[in-house]
Amino acid sequence: MKGYLRVWLVIAAVVAPIAGHCTSAPDPNLYAFHERPGAQLPMQPKFLDSDDRAVHLSELSRGLPLIVVLAYFHCTSLCGVVRSSLFNALGAAKLKAGRDYALAVLSIDPHEMSAEARAAKSADLAAFGPLGADAFVHYLTGRADDIRTLADAVGFRDRFDPASNQFVHPAGVVFVTPTGQVSNYLLGVGYTPPAVRSALEQAAAGGIAAAGSPLLLICFHFDPTTGRYSLEILKVLRLAGIVAVLTVAGMLFLLRRREGRLS
């Protein structure tokens, strides 16, 4: 009996602080990408490009698959990581804008204007070099209703957190066919050249992938004083730790019980 008590005291000591952290983890139904393969992008809304020119989404791809990145330009968290991961993969795969794809990076912050889009585009091109034909690389801003219409079409959920002055939103990239249908997604970060090439080839051919499971990697909680990210996915990993601890505890319990019967 004392052996069992020691085991469960250890479990309680490990699980209690972890469970406390996990209670504040966001609901993936609220903030994860809700993949909508086959959905048609809305073509009516107008957005402003980095040159302050009004454009429709239908004008952007010009017969090419369209890569859509929903982010915001003054983000201090994962938004830049998503773009750099995508651009590195595109470069490594030798894929070029205007030949293999068109790109639309749309700010989810309706308060950002063309100046912020222009600055972000200049910074990205300086960091990663030309992506291809500049006419196929679009950094966009828009009105709240138009942004929401596009976000809903691709299953993108977000909210603004006043306390941190940041948006809570999922990390990922959407690939769209030349006719404006959602083809497939790459979620999270760390995209590989083969994965990006395959996603573009599928979109170019008009292919529609099956929806995957939501991935809870949220662009949020950056502490500028430490320069570290406190990603909500860590809370999910803590929850997985709870499951692992309970599994081991259950095995120990069954082994001790079996030993008691044999003796």
Model confidence pLDDT, tens digit, residues 90-110: 999 999 999 999 999 999 999
Q: What is the mean pLDDT of the chain?
A: 78
Q: Write out the H or E segment, with its range, that includes residue 218.
A: strand 218-219
State how many domains the chain has: 2
Say if residue 17's pLDDT is above 60. no
Whether 139 and 159 map to the same domain: the answer is yes
Helix ranges (DSSP H) in 32-155? 79-92, 114-128, 144-154
Residues 70 and 151 in one domain: yes
Asked if residue 142 and residue 74 are part of one domain, the reply reads: yes
The model's pLDDT over 26-61, given as tens digits with 9 standing for 90+, comes to: 444 555 678 899 999 998 889 999 999 999 988 999
In-domain check, residue 234:
no
Range of weakest confidence among 38-42, 58-62, 72-76, 157-161: 157-161
- Split at pLDDT 50, 70, 90, the class of 123 is very high
Query: How does strand 137-140 pair with strand 102-107?
Result: parallel
Do 236 and 21 meet the contact criterion of CB atoms below 8 Å apart?
no
Percent with pLDDT over 90 in the chain: 50
What is the average pLDDT across 217-230? 41
* Same structural domain, 127 and 16: no
Distance CA 258, CA 207 (A): 55
Q: Which domain holds residue 20?
A: 2-25+242-262
- Mean pLDDT across 120-138: 94
For the whole model, what pTM was predicted?
0.72
Q: Hey, what are 82's tokens?
A: 């998503």
